[in-house]
A and B are shown apart, each in its own frame.
Chain A
Amino acid sequence: MSIRHTLFHRIQAFCDVLLSVALFASIIISVHGLTACSSRPSSVPASFSESSDTARIFPDYRDVVIPPNIAPMNFMVRDSLASEFVVTIADIVCGATSDGKIDIDANAWRQLLEKSKGNTLQVDVYAHRDQGWIHMKPFVMTVAEEPIDSFLSYRLIEPGYELYRQLGLYQRNLTDFTETPIYENNRTFDNVDNHCVNCHNYQNYSTDHMLFHVRAGHGGTIIVDGNEAHKITIKHDSIISAGVYPSWHPTQNLIAFSTNYTGQVFHMLHTEKIEVLDLGSDLLLYDVERNAVKHIVHTKDALETFPCWTPDGTRLYYCSARRTEIPKDSTYMIDFIAKYDSILYDIYSIPFDSKTRSFGEPRLEVDASSQGHSTSVPRISPDGRYMLYTQGDYGQFHIWHKSADLWVKKIQEDGSENTEEQSAYPLTAANSAEADSYHTWSSNGRWIVFASRRLDAAYSRAFIAYFDKNGQARKAFLMPQRDPELNTFLLKSYNVPELTKNSVKVSIEKLNHVVYNTEPELATYEE
């Protein structure tokens, strides 16, 4: 009896411990977010009344043009009066969680897109309110014929000011929801290892050649060649700083960099919050194979930045502003900063002879300054017919300027000069009242992806817009996520979205090794 009694108690105690552990684990797991968001299986309500109400959905996917290979366009219905939802997208029926989130079946979605190329998809939202089911006004999504490149890489970083902690470069498979890190900095604070990464760039939509910068600890520029990587650094008395904004030549192992002396200041009352200013900047040409660098332009009276090659590699576009002459005394910085809103950038191009690796005379492409505006980030479409750029009221760090919008300029096929009035125009349908900037073309020229702060004026998100054959963009839509609320809960910004045809080949372990364990090779400066 005694033995049985003891055994019983021990088993009971063991179960108690197991229960406690399970309870604790459930707390941890629920915090971990492993609790799946399960859509209730549903069917279209048998009876419902028609409503003139428009469903409030997030993200706004009404009347957008979407790629035929895009991941399911999950959204959530926001209706505090309703307790249940059913959504139909063409012939797909989706149930929704009580908070209105729909999670579209990926296989059904893929099949639907495949058969709907060039057609529209009607989306019907049914909501169950106190009076019963209602059918709200339907909306449509149009499926384009042309796919978007499968991978989008970006940096995730707090929309911050001066400090950084956990940040990284990530690539998202746009055909599903997979996001994988390309490189992440040290997760735990460490005086020696703390570093920032930025300015990732690829050669001609391929991940065979890639680069990004490492700043602070373990600094240098990481050059990726297929599965291999190495670290270089650009330093010379005549060079302002290490390479900054990059553009990889489409066919040769050459990279154009800007080199910038940058400062930032913070407004106390202005509608803008931050100003990032270049106090000096030039352009560099870096030869990857020879590890050699030389100036493209080296001027004292101009600020050149944001280089960008044409798809055939025969011209280099860039932005340039006149540098105000300010005497270098003790108030130099204050005087310079005080003129922040009078620094206006135009776009120039300069011919490049790939045989001699020499540049010709610059040509003004967009004269924004004469109109009291400023431009940044020129990007040429893959067919060479359009230049996409950002235009704002002043300066070049348009990612923090509400006035920043996407503009396009038609490029003459014969390369002749073009008057801006005739050919430059804003992409009104894609733009917003908040900052729209850092755009990238898809390799087929039919899609543009850019960073926009339109959701809340603080956290930039990746938006996708269709660019039609007539040079007009359609309404931009938020990059779909499995859980649409990720856009709310993610306290980081999407920075510098770049489309590529394939995923990055080099492993994160390899990049970690190169960053942490190798010394940068100093590039040779050539006069």
Chain B
Amino acid sequence: MKKFSSFISHYRTIAYALFFVLAWIWATWWMGDLYRMAYENSFLAADRTLMHFLWQESFGTMWIAGRALLLLYRWPLIGGLAVAVLLTAAVWLIGYCFRLRPRWRWLGLLPVSAWMTWVAWLGLNLFFQHEPGRTLGVLLLGVLVCAVDAFVIWTFKSRSSHHQHLEAAPVTLSTWLLTLVMIVLCFGAPTLVTSLRHPYARPVTHMQVQLLHEDWVGMSETAHKHAALSYRPLAAYYVVALIHTGHITDELFDIRLDYDSLYVVNWTGQPDVGTNYYIVDCNYAAGLFRAAEHKAIEQMTMDGPSLFTLKHLTRLALLDSNWALARKYLQILSKAPFEGAFIERYSAMLDSPDRVAADPEFALLRQTEPAMDSFESYYEAPVFLGYNCALLAGRSKTALMHSLLSNLYSKRMPAFLERCQPLVGTMPPRYIAEGLVTQVKKYPEVLQAFPQLNMTAQLFSGFLRDVSTELKDRPTYARELFDRYHGYYPYYYFFGNLKATRKRTTNEHGGSNAGVN
């Protein structure tokens, strides 16, 4: 009992310590990758010209202050620590400014919880087509206002009366329990919002952070871990990872590809499917460098310069042997703190076509660069794999595989079969084989061209028998069958990606699926 009394007497210290630790965990572990990518989509430099875009905006100063704090998220542990300190300070300052008695001190948690829930509600809109320094700018401003208010109170009010007023009331067990409950609710609300509204946001940003570290296997593992989630950005970054791991022909259909709403909005405030979130990365990974540059410049036009766009534009200029332009972007990046490693790596390639050619990533991506000129508008969705469904000429077998897989993904079977010609007489990779056998009934000559596929065809017949009932109501059974058949192309062909959004010409139907997302 004595111990408990002592515990109660340290009520404030313990409550604040608990809140601080939970806030640090929330801001680092739960939100760390989101804010890390917000940092990557931000830019801060001590140069008027470079920051002109932001200064011109309404509340530009506040956004810049937010971006300054965001810099700490270069290392999420430190960024999280700073946010935790601010959140804890906010709770204390609110209590102090409003002279909340211990029993009502939990009220100070409400504005903080509201801020955290707002951050969670934004999801990828934390930075996607919105100012990345916005949330931290608002937090900083809030804390600053409270601090000034507290300072005024502290300076001009009688300290003793104010202090005594706060400390007079005794701390009871019920007060302590209420505070604990409110702390739990304070973190529970934003955590629930993230989990229910944006369940993809943490995995996607985690994959992006892994991409920054070129951890392609890690990206693939993250996608597999969240295979049952079905969101475009997750699938897009999964494809980027597979391009690098070389497992695209046997792992592409391992995850769900049905695409639920992201609950993000674009600059106009309208719901957005989020293509612009990943299109630069996808085009770049697919070797469509001009299209990647196009989209990166447009992102820079709309959002101002960011580390993300500047880094991409640097690489793209190097791939284009435009040394002057690459140098320009590197000089701009050198004005941002903490980007020394990137600058060192790519500065070494300036004026050196040999070093550009020797870079393993560039060499890999060059394999799928278009073999002949065309216009971007001639390429067709989906954007994954560089929307090269219509690709007819490639400079490598990898390019052919990407074209075949994009047609499999889009379920454009006649186009797929047409592009399989170079593989006749060989044992095609797994998904190509599984795609071919789905067409045997309609085109029996497929088995003549690919006699090695008899076993695959038998497996396909077995699959059709097994799902004969479910085939009658595919949308209903799609999710249920995923656990049994994920990674098997015929499952995707019949049950995957059913929410058609694009009308197709009659000769493209080619199968029982009317379209894909």
Chain A residue with minimal CB distance to B374?
A268
Chain B residues in 8 Å Cβ range of A31: 44-47, 51, 64, 68
What would be 13 A-B contacts, judged by CB atoms less than 8 Å apart?
A14-B151, A28-B65, A31-B46, A158-B300, A163-B302, A165-B301, A187-B57, A266-B375, A267-B375, A268-B379, A457-B322, A458-B322, A489-B47
Q: Given known contacts A30-B46, A268-B379, is B269 in contact with A489 (CB within 8 Å)?
A: no
In the complex, A209 Cα to B47 Cα: how many Å? 36
In the complex, A153 Cα to B372 Cα: how many Å? 40
Chain B residues in 8 Å Cβ range of A290: none
Q: Which of A30, A158, A160, A191 contacts B268 (CB 8 A)?
A: A191
The answer to whether B68 touches A17 (Cβ under 8 A) is: no
Chain B proximity of A514: nearest CB distance (Å): 21
1/0 per residue, CB under 8 A from B, across A262-279: the answer is: 000111111001010000
A288 at interface, CB cutoff 8 A: no
Chain A residues in 8 Å Cβ range of B58: 187-188
Q: Given known contacts A6-B159, A27-B68, A266-B290, is B375 in contact with A187 (CB within 8 Å)?
A: no
- Secondary structure call for the B interface: helix
Chain A residues in 8 Å Cβ range of B372: 269
Which residues 191-226 in B have Cβ within 8 Å of A in the complex? none
In the complex, A6 Cα to B157 Cα: how many Å? 13
In the complex, A485 Cα to B335 Cα: how many Å? 12
Chain B residues in 8 Å Cβ range of A161: 294, 297-298
Chain A residues in 8 Å Cβ range of B378: 334
The answer to whether B49 touches A490 (Cβ under 8 A) is: yes
A289 at interface, CB cutoff 8 A: no
**Size of chain A's interface in residues, with CB distance under 8 A?**
48
1/0 per residue, CB under 8 A from A, across B81-105: the answer is: 0000000000000000000000000
Which residues 10-57 in A have Cβ within 8 Å of B in the complex? 10, 13-14, 17, 24, 27-28, 30-35
B167 at interface, CB cutoff 8 A: no
The answer to whether B301 touches A32 (Cβ under 8 A) is: no
Chain A proximity of B161: nearest CB distance (Å): 14
Count: A-B pairs, CB below 8 Å: 127
In the complex, A334 Cα to B372 Cα: how many Å? 17
Q: Which of A10, A17, A163 contacts B301 (CB 8 A)?
A: A163
A488 at interface, CB cutoff 8 A: yes
Chain A proximity of B72: nearest CB distance (Å): 13
Chain B proximity of A460: nearest CB distance (Å): 13
Q: Given known contacts A160-B297, A489-B47, A489-B49, is B373 in contact with A187 (CB within 8 Å)?
A: no
Chain A residues in 8 Å Cβ range of B178: none
B490 at interface, CB cutoff 8 A: no
Chain B residues in 8 Å Cβ range of A166: 53, 56
Chain B residues in 8 Å Cβ range of A27: 68
B345 at interface, CB cutoff 8 A: no
B361 at interface, CB cutoff 8 A: no
Q: Given known contacts A31-B46, A33-B48, A188-B57, is B305 in contact with A491 (CB within 8 Å)?
A: yes
The answer to whether B290 touches A267 (Cβ under 8 A) is: yes
Which residues 347-397 in B have Cβ within 8 Å of A in the complex? 369-370, 372-379
Chain A residues in 8 Å Cβ range of B65: 24, 28
- Known: A161-B297, A488-B332; 6 extra A-B contacts, CB below 8 A, are A27-B68, A30-B46, A191-B269, A269-B369, A337-B375, A455-B328
